[in-house]
Amino acid sequence: MSITEHELKIELEGIEDPDIGEDIVSLGLVNDVRIEDETAKISLALNAPYAPSEMELGNRIREVVSEAGLEADLRAHVGSEHGFDDEVLPRVRNVIAVSSGKGGVGKTTVAANLAAGLEKRGAMVGLLDADIHGPNVPRILPVETEPGVTPSEDIVPPRSDGVRVISMGFMMEEEDDPAILRGPMVNKFMLKFLEGVEWGRLDYLIVDLPPGTGDATLNLLQSMPVTGAVVVTTPQEMALDDTRKGIQMFNKHDTPVLGVVENMSSFVCPSCGDEHGLFGTEGAQSIVDKYDIPLLGQIPIHPDFGAEGSEGALVKDDSSPVQETVEEFVAEVSDRVGETNRRTVAEHVGGGEPDDALPTETED
């Protein structure tokens, strides 16, 4: 006699969330289980596409279903019943803010490579260059066409090797023109970028914030459902001081901090291979210990990945010695997005209908 839906759900209780430590049924991550024609149709409250931990959860569920003698049809669905905002940017699953307490730490390079790395894993990704006064994203991710405009005058983002990109840099006549804008104009552009862009359907929208804790950042936090923030720092104490201020700002606005990435963490001598902490050591670790947040990665100093940025996303450059480190950072960020979302679901346990088919195998 074949297994029943109730019995299969009991079997799924044996699968533990790798980050939270409780079973996926108790956490409310299983919306629905139906068996039709020897196929188990399972709706899951997962919302971080191509995150390694959620890919592994999907694989583990498939194993349980296979052991029960059934085929698996896994779908993902979350909505307001799970605690998610489905009114602002309803077609964007996750908004990830990339910030830094000060300029010159490589924030834009990190944001561009995060976007490109998620796209490389298979996700649909957009990148919003919200650094109004220093829009450098187009230097790193050059676009293939000019921005378009819909009949309703929304901006259609051009693409850079699969990533949809919007930047203040597109609005300037010359690449080196300064963005001389006062507060009201900054707010006007930010409002247009937040409400007047036709992103389409996105798994992740990466927002490259201006450095510091000014109006543009506050407008974003007040206007968009930010899944979490990635904070970029360097090991110097001055940078770390400003990083602490940024983390406190996110905490005050109830925005989850996904973690800290330490750029320029060390210098690897190309001749002897020795590693040197030119700007100090264990800098970001002090932030991690004080605020109990993850260290998402430590990226070494390299001409490919400098504070001034570089042409192209190195996460897609197989010849770059920095590629593997950046790929690991991208995977870690997506895992933290997944954990944050699953904790939200656990706080708002509910059901839902199947929506998006889940990936069938783990990415390298």
Question: Nearest CA to 127 among 183, 208, 46?
Answer: 208
Given a cut of 70, whether residue 354 has pLDDT beyond it is: no
Higher pLDDT, 340 or 136: 340
Task: Please tell me the class of the 5-82 domain.
Answer: alpha beta
Q: In sequence order, what are the residues at sequence separation of 6 or more whose Cβ sits closer than 8 angstroms to the Cβ of residue 222?
A: 253
Whether residue 11 has pLDDT greater than 50: yes
pLDDT at residue number 185: 52
Q: What is the rounded average pLDDT for all residues in the chain? A: 83
Distance CA 52, CA 333 (A): 10
C-alpha separations of 276 from 101, 109, 265, 279, 280 in Å: 24, 22, 9, 9, 9
Cα separation, 202 vs 126, in Å, equals 7
CATH 3.40.50.300 domain residues, the chain = 92-335
C-alpha–C-alpha distance, residues 191 and 194, integer Å:
5
| pLDDT score at 321 | 82
- pLDDT winner (highest mean) among 58-67, 141-150, 211-220, 288-297: 58-67
pLDDT at 361: 53
Binding residues: 101-108
3-class DSSP string for 65-100 = HHHCCCEEEEEECCCHHHCCCCCCCCCEEEEEEEEE
pLDDT, position 341: 97
pLDDT digits (tens, 9 = 90+) for 39-73: 999 999 999 999 999 999 999 999 999 999 999 99
Predicted confidence (pLDDT) at residue 279 exceeds the cutoff of 90: no
Does residue 243 surpass a pLDDT of 70? yes
Residue 102, token pair as written in the block: 């000060």
Query: Which pLDDT score is estimated for 277?
Result: 56
Rounded mean pLDDT, 252-272:
80
Q: Cα dihedral angle (158, 175, 110, 284), rounded to 10 degrees?
A: -150
Compute the distance between CA of residue 351 and CA of residue 3 in angstroms, rounded to an integer.
Answer: 22
3-class DSSP assignment, residue 129: strand
What whole-number percentage of the chain has pLDDT above 70?
A: 79
Which pLDDT band holds residue 353 (cuts at 50, 70, 90)? very low
Which residue did the predictor score with more confidence, 357 or 298? Answer: 298
Q: What is the mean pLDDT of residues 129-149?
A: 83
- The percent of residues in the chain predicted with pLDDT above 90, rounded, is 49
Burial class (CB in 10 A: 0-12, 13-18, 19+), 295: middle
User: How is 305-358 classified by DSSP, letter by letter?
Assistant: S-TT--SS-GGG-TT-TTHHHHHHHHHHHHHHHHHHHHHHHHHS-------EEP
What is the band of 187 on the pLDDT scale with cuts at 50, 70, 90? Answer: low
User: Residue ranges for the binding site for ATP?
Assistant: 101-108
* pLDDT 10s digits, 64-100: 999 999 999 999 999 999 999 888 888 999 999 998 8
**In the numeric block, which tokens belong to residue 203?**
């798994």
Q: What is the pLDDT of residue 229?
A: 94
* Lowest-confidence segment of 218-232, 269-283, 300-314 by average pLDDT: 269-283
Q: Where in the chain is the domain with CATH 3.30.300.130?
A: 5-82
Question: How is domain 92-335 classified at the CATH fold level?
Answer: Rossmann fold (3.40.50)
What pLDDT shows up at residue 272? 62
